Amino acid sequence: MGRLTTHVLDTANGRPAAGLAIDLYRIEGERRTFLNSTVTNSDGRSDTPMLEGSDFVSGTYELVFYAGDYFKKAGAKTGDPSFLDHVPVRFGISDADQHYHVPLLVSPYAYSTYRGS
């Protein structure tokens, strides 16, 4: 069975983004349903998959990374308001038998993501 994992790297400081909050939603039309939340561990990862088992089905999902809070706690100069605050990444799961890994590379002023392995 498939699963969804994530990993966050703080590219401004060259380290895992430990302590960054993440929420997961399922998107169905205009409806956004909250599924799960986590805070990254010392390696910038969630301790368990964000989604797995019978809950892991094809569809559209959104991870929301709370980058603004993370960088404020880290003492970064982010501006007021922060240039990046909540970073939403919307993506599709087409095959519920595969592993989907959605990493985020983030700094106070830029981010990128991709489908990892």
Say if residue 21's pLDDT is above 90.
yes
Q: What pTM, to 2 d.p., does this model score? A: 0.95
Q: Within a 13 Å sphere around the CA of 61, how many CA atoms are in the beta-carbon half? A: 24
Handedness of CA 62, 66, 71, 77 (dihedral sign): positive
Mean pLDDT across the chain = 96
Phi, psi (degrees; rounded to nearest 5) at 108: -65, -20
pLDDT digits (tens, 9 = 90+) for 58-104: 999 999 999 999 999 999 988 889 999 999 999 999 999 999 999 99
With beta carbons less than 8 A apart as the criterion, state whether 90 and 59 touch. Answer: no
- Check residue 36 and give its pLDDT: 96
Predicted pLDDT at 84:
94
